[in-house]
Structure 1
Amino acid sequence: MKQRIRDLFEKANLAPSRKAPFLSRRYPYGGARRMHSALGPDLAAPTTWRAADTPPAGELGAIFMHTGGANKWLHYLPVYEANIDRSQPIRMLELGVFRGGSLRMWREYLHPQSVIVGIDIDPNCKQFEDPEHNVHVRIGGQQDATFLQEVNSEFGPFDVILDDGSHMTSHMVESFRNLFASALAEPGAYIVEDVHSNYWKPYRDSSMSFVDFVAVLVDAMHAHYPDAESEVNFRTDDPARLREVSVPRITPKLDGIEIHDSIVVVRKASRDLPRSVYQ
């Protein structure tokens, strides 16, 4: 009987919970057909992609293997190395502590004077705090804007923010909205890992996944172009140059967006980036 009830919930795209509101909606991924159509028959033709057991390379890979307890996809490690500066002290915020392995990895990899802050909803994660070595843990939800502001006020702004939290789509989007503008330093890197969870129904608790949100960020990064007619509107010596345009607050702060397998990096500019063409 219980299995039948669970099957009915699954079919109705509902997830039961012991806490209010007791039932929450799930939004199944439905983009496969659109993807195949857009790719065309050649690019969408099926191929075989085989698994490989390749040990991690580089210094971070070695640290990852011997510190233990961190649950990371190995292809994330080169992305971290390319986007995180270990040559000088930084401030890092990681959403999600779990068993503390990631905090240990970052403590060994980063500059000794770097400050590392982890947040988690599990009070047991407090045991992984090590203030003597600049490792701090605060307990609260990544979707709680007030809590995030408190953490930012205490430790921020952060040079790197890493979302390895609940993986719920709504939490990923809300955390970015609450942290990118106010808690991320300029320049800074906002990294969201495990976005593959966006394709699994148990994690799709909102109609907009973080993958969908990244597409919105791409549009926001180009929001100054629709008001122009051509590149002459951005030439420094042209009378048709646009001296100002109305764009979302985030647009001048978007330095770049990197999309890798299961991990996204959004870089924040060190200043409002100008968009000019020089002849």
Structure 2
Amino acid sequence: MMVNSKSTNPLIEYLEQNPNGRVVHRWRHYFDIYHRHFSRFRGESITMIEIGIFNGGSLRMWKDYFGPKATIVGVDINPGCKKYEETGIEIVIGDQADPKFLQELSNRYPNFSVVIDDGGHRMEQQITTLEELYLPMQNDGVYLCEDTHTSYMPSFGGGHQKKNTFIEYSKKLIDQLNAFHIEESEYLAQNYFTQATDSIHFYDSVVVIEKKSRTKPDQVIYGTQADFSYLVPSLSGKNT
């Protein structure tokens, strides 16, 4: 679907047109991030999983945004959220910190293309959810974890540069994304994440990972005229 950069964000349009709807509570800049990474799925037959339902308002927002072909799956540990189920919106009750539950979730919805983690925001919850849902997500999928500023908040298990926060975990994924180029390291080698990830995007309080199968990058050269050449190892690592 084509995106008109001059138009109002359709997520904001929906919310403004439904002022008496269920509460949607987000940081303002999140909506542009959503639209930037999710717009290509609009009108498609996709399954989206949102962890963290709260008052259920975002589920209807996503249903409107992605369209009638989409299946919206809301996940929450609160059994009371089951009441938000309706046509096009399915509710699953479970604990996102439980790997077994997440495995059962991915088996139940094997073709999901979008994940939003807006759950408990604790470190073990965010890390476990990514580790369990990223691999089974569709090859062209988008994984978005929000409210990652909790990595800096002791009340959520975070702290600046504290080990095992989601942000520190995500920083290591940058190395993994570039692991095709590692020549000598006993600590880093290409793995599934290297071979399955197209890009990682860091925003204030949001990390987005776009999935796409890839092989080791290769260089191309266009043109025949070259006045200069490398006098040091080239970008390929070879002496020239």
Q: Over the residues paired in the alignment, what is the CA RMSD in angstroms?
A: 1.9
1:62 matched residue in structure 2: 13
Q: Give 1:164 shift.
A: 0.2
Q: Give 1:75 shift.
A: 0.5
Q: Give 1:88 shift.
A: 1.6
Identity of aligned residues (%): 31
2:149 matched residue in structure 1: 196
Unpaired runs of 5+ in structure 2? 1-7, 222-240
Residue 127 of structure 2 is aligned with which of 165, 168, 173?
Answer: 173
* 8 Å Cα contact 1:255-1:273 kept in structure 2: no
CA–CA distance in structure 1, aligned partners of residues 80 and 189 of structure 2: 47
* 8 Å Cα contact 1:94-1:118 kept in structure 2: yes
SS in 2 for 1:71: coil
1:18 matched residue in structure 2: none
Q: Give 1:64 shift.
A: 2.7
Asked if 1:275 corresponds to 2:229, the answer is no
Asked if 1:159 corresponds to 2:113, the answer is yes
2:196 matched residue in structure 1: 253
* 8 Å Cα contact 1:70-1:102 kept in structure 2: yes
Which residue identity does 1:146 align to in structure 2?
K
Which residue identity does 1:59 align to in structure 2?
P
Q: Give 1:224 shift.
A: 1.8
Which residue identity does 1:111 align to in structure 2?
G
* 8 Å Cα contact 1:90-1:111 kept in structure 2: no
1:108 matched residue in structure 2: 64
- Bigger RCO (CA 8 Å, 6+ sep): 1
Residue 96 of structure 1 is aligned with which of 31, 44, 52?
Answer: 52
Structure with the higher fraction of residues in helix conformation? 1
* 8 Å Cα contact 2:198-2:214 kept in structure 1: no
CA–CA distance in structure 2, aligned partners of residues 215 and 136 of structure 1: 33
2:29 matched residue in structure 1: 75
Which residue identity does 1:145 align to in structure 2?
P
Unpaired runs of 5+ in structure 1? 1-56, 229-244
